[in-house]
Structure 1
Amino acid sequence: MKRITISLLALLVALPVGLSFFSQASNHSSASHAEHEQVATLAGGCFWCTESDMEKLDGVIDVVSGYSGGTVDNPTYKQVSSGTTGHIESIQVTYDSDKLSYEQVLDHFLRHIDPTDDGGSFVDRGNQYRPAIFYHDTQQKQVAERFMQEIDQAGIFHKPLKTELIAFKKFWPAEEYHQDYYKKSSLRYKYYRYASGRDQYLDQIFGDDREDNPKTLRQLIDEKRAISEVKVYTRPSEDQIRAKLTDLQYRVTQEDATERAFNNEYWDNKAEGIYVDIVSGEPLFSSTDKYKSGTGWPSFTQPIDPAYIVTKSDNTLFYTRTEVRSRFGRSHLGHVFEDGPAPTGLRYCMNSAAMRFVPKEEMQAQGYGAYLKLFQ
């Protein structure tokens, strides 16, 4: 069973022996489904976990736990977990191609496993637990190759991906008691998942707010590309920050404070120009996107360039808000809400103390001439 500790092993094997979920191999391919249904066969360690994660993706129709890649017909769990059959613990995902692309399926899958470990998966060691993508046709292979190359180039996982691409042949469904294990034996599943270290690893890679504020791998790749194309700004040292900021500016940007509404420098500023980070100088917002929100703080429908903005979940109050920070200065700027006007529907509610206003007529002299096009 799962190689965690002897006590956990004893706990998990104390299960009724189920009959085989199917007696024959499932030779699934896109041709055997309705036109809008497609199939992906994936391996990311424990299929209890990968099945649970993939079933949460909107557009997924069904997920079956099983085995693929080996030489033994209709293998049992005991045979596969011994590592002697050549099979990998896998899942087969049926999804609606009208709602999901194959890349989007892979995106969700790779964000819920460790695709950099070819020696197993978290506490489960051995080739039978290694990550793999079983491609059903040339198109799936090409999509997977290109997508994983982009992920590597962006350096999202900090280590090269070692997820194997294998031509799909057969998929054997696992015993019935393994199907939807996270529903049938929720307490045992939760204990195993926590002990495996899977979620702790994913929190390190994607942040502990990844469930409340998820970002796809495609979004992260695009952000990395955008950052590489923008000017890099430098965050001053702690001593320099303390020396240049007022007490209020320091408390807002460094200690996440909020200034008073209707009693701050820019809430009613109507002059043309841009607002830059008080700490780093990176360009944040333009007067062309500023509007009167009635909140008493300067409000904008969008940033000048999203590459200079970082968002994260903020749970300091009784509900979750989305905090906004500058990328290079790491300054706390304010929050963004979904109650703004067209065209974005967003309200970037910022602290004046976190920003410095550069009038349009001074932008060229201060090095922001590239943004004068905003006022044409």
Structure 2
Amino acid sequence: MKEYATFAGGCFWCMVAPFDQLPGISSIRSGYARDEQITSEASALVKKENEYVEAVQIVWDPSHITFEELLNLYWQQIDPTDSGGQFSDRGPSYRAIIFYHNEKQKEAAFDSKKKLAQSGRFKRPIVTPILPFSSFYKAEEQQQDYYRKNAFHYKLYKEGSGRTDFLTQHWPKDRSYLKKVLTPMQYFVTQENGTEPPFTNLYWNNKKQGIYVDLLTGEALFKTSDQLPSHTGWPIFKRPILYGNIKRVPAQHSTALKSKEGDNYLGLLLTEENSEYYQVNSAALRFIPKEKLKEEGYEDFLILF
């Protein structure tokens, strides 16, 4: 049995990727949802400009994930104290709104909002409205799955809008949902700074051309032309694609490597005879072959080959 959930959270580009990782999700469409709260006294022009908000509509299987879990993840993508838009996107069409499709969703949404307000996580009031669903219109095809089709520009936009910094500040440790979408090894490595077994992981001896991206955020990290023969049993690289996408975190006897946007653990920085090498866990990466870069939204990186 399938159900629908409709969430507005500012620019719909940023509202697809978080839910796309969850089990039980059949589809996520970017589009425009109608706000029926526009007053009858408003002029026709005002109604036309303000009655639709950018939103995503999710088709999901409640036997795999609950509406309450979707709500929990929704709150972690927005600023629920802002009634005038979201982050750098201002105006009525960028408001955050929860649209409920039935009474059960309505009750769950109001309960979730109440719990968030009582948590004290935000100093200002929670103002995100909860409204009955009316209609939804799918956006143009080029807007669908934008985070995959245009990964580089999407990353720049999300960071530049202020959304990334805000979410990192207010939800620094709320990653319990990742246990549903990652394998035990992937979670152990990326979230608990673990190390996978050598020589039995996916990419330690990869010979195909392509790039490696962060398993969760999709940010480009390494390319195969910089991958060295490994005698340790883990992938080793001479350099990252973009130095700015890698964070170095000093540890007691080593330097840990983390992805900048996702803050996911990758591996260790090795030094040998004044040279640096990046030893990374395969479980923290997703490999995209050269021939699929355009399809996956990484066309800008074809110039590397």
Q: Which TM-score band applies after superposition, normalised by the shorter structure?
A: 0.5 to 0.7
Partners of 2:132 and 2:5 lie apart in 1 by 12
Question: Could you tell me which of 42, 48, 51 is aligned with 1:86?
Answer: 51
Partners of 2:50 and 2:91 lie apart in 1 by 12
Partners of 1:83 and 1:121 lie apart in 2 by 20
Amino acid at match of 1:172: Y
> Deviation digits for residues 98-148 of structure 1, max 9, x if unmatched?
111100001011111111111100000011111100000111000000111
Q: Which structure 1 residue ranges, 5 or more long, are not aligned?
A: 1-34, 72-81, 217-313, 321-376
Query: What SS is found at the alignment partner of 1:66?
Result: strand
Is residue 99 of structure 1 aligned with residue 64 of structure 2?
yes
- Contact 2:35–2:134 (CA<8 Å) still a contact in 1? no
> Deviation digits for residues 21-71 of structure 1, max 9, x if unmatched?
xxxxxxxxxxxxxx2x21100000010000122212233221100001158
Question: Could you tell me which of 208, 211, 214 is aligned with 2:175?
Answer: 214
2:164 aligns with 199
- Shift of residue 319 of structure 1? 5.8
1:66 aligns with 31
Amino acid at match of 2:92: N
Question: Could you tell me which of 3, 6, 9 is aligned with 1:44?
Answer: 9
1:154 aligns with 119
Q: Which structure 2 residue ranges, 5 or more long, are not aligned?
A: 37-46, 178-248, 258-305
Matched-pair identity in %? 36
- For CA contacts below 8 A with separation 6 or more, give which structure has more relative contact order: 2
2:82 aligns with 117
Match runs of 1:123-138 below 5 Å: 123-138=88-103
Partners of 2:250 and 2:96 lie apart in 1 by 34
Query: What SS is found at the alignment partner of 1:106?
Result: helix
> Deviation digits for residues 314-363 of structure 1, max 9, x if unmatched?
9725669xxxxxxxxxxxxxxxxxxxxxxxxxxxxxxxxxxxxxxxxxxx
- Contact 2:50–2:92 (CA<8 Å) still a contact in 1? no
Which structure has greater strand proportion?
2
- Contact 1:83–1:128 (CA<8 Å) still a contact in 2? no
Is residue 186 of structure 1 aligned with residue 137 of structure 2?
no
Partners of 1:196 and 1:144 lie apart in 2 by 27
Partners of 2:166 and 2:131 lie apart in 1 by 25
- The aligned length equals 176
* Structure 1 pair 315–131 and aligned structure 2 pair: CA distance change class (3 A): farther
Amino acid at match of 1:121: Q
Largest Rg, 1 or 2: 1
Match runs of 1:240-251 below 5 Å: none
Amino acid at match of 1:60: I
- Contact 1:83–1:126 (CA<8 Å) still a contact in 2? no
- Contact 1:83–1:127 (CA<8 Å) still a contact in 2? no
Amino acid at match of 2:59: T
- Contact 1:57–1:108 (CA<8 Å) still a contact in 2? no
* Structure 1 pair 85–161 and aligned structure 2 pair: CA distance change class (3 A): closer
- Contact 1:89–1:129 (CA<8 Å) still a contact in 2? yes
2:20 aligns with 55
Query: What SS is found at the alignment partner of 1:62?
Result: strand
* Structure 1 pair 138–52 and aligned structure 2 pair: CA distance change class (3 A): same
Amino acid at match of 1:49: C
Partners of 1:160 and 1:151 lie apart in 2 by 10
